Amino acid sequence: MAVHERTCLICKEKKEKKDLFRLVKSGETNYKFDEKQRQQSRGYYVCKSPECLKRLSKHKKIKMSSEDLMKMLSLLKKTEKDYLNILKAMKNSQALSFGMNMVLEDIEHTHFLVLAEDISEKNEKKLLAKARELKINYVYYGNKDQLGEIFGKNEVSVIAVKSKKMARGLID
């Protein structure tokens, strides 16, 4: 039986369609995620893997919105889902605040919080009180160094997600 294989735009490997996300062009270098695989335009494909999505998010000639990247990342199998990769892919959008000062300033517009596992007790208390008051979901993930690395900083103890869509992808 002939299997219809497609090539990943990023790693150039040939795979079955079920192992790939379908994209369509929406401009010279812009692509959109074709979630339902129904758009009539020519399809382009990328592996359903955190590695290829991460490379895609940094690609100079294949540009996608962080919401589309986020959606694809959230569709990866749970075990493959990696908050750090998701946050890295989102960091250039306007959807993230980081650090105590910025996060507390933006807390009214925050839909989701990522707290470092080694956050200080004082900061943790402050944030959790706000989270309860405003009904914001949160998760502990990584340490301050790892969260800092996302933004090229030494240490970051908290990240706020300000886009509802992105927050949903992280919660699911």
Which of 5, 11, 14, 92 is the binder for Zn ion (CB under 5 A)? 11
Which of 23, 34, 44, 52 is the binder for Zn ion (CB under 5 A)? 52
Which of 47, 69, 89, 103 is the binder for Zn ion (CB under 5 A)? 47
Position 9 contacts Zn ion (CB under 5 A):
no
For Zn ion, which is the closer residue by CB, 62 or 127?
62
For Zn ion, which is the closer residue by CB, 14 or 125?
14
Position 62 contacts Zn ion (CB under 5 A):
no
For Zn ion, which is the closer residue by CB, 18 or 135?
18
Beta bridge partners of 113: 138, 160
Position 113 contacts Zn ion (CB under 5 A):
no
Q: Give 115: exposed, middle or buried? Use CB within 10 Å, 0-12, 13-18, 19+.
A: buried
Helix (H) or strand (E) holding 171: helix 164-171
Position 8 contacts Zn ion (CB under 5 A):
yes
Longest dimension (CA), the chain: 62
Distance CA 162, CA 41 (A): 32
Rounded to a whole number of angstroms, the minimum distance from the CB of residue 2 to Zn ion is 22
Which of 10, 73, 127, 147 is the binder for Zn ion (CB under 5 A)? 10
Closest by CA position to 66, among listed 140, 165, 149 = 165
Token representation of residue 96 = 């993230």
Report the DSSP pairing between strands 96-98 and 31-33: unpaired
Name the residues that contact Zn ion, by CB under 5 A.
8, 10-11, 47, 52
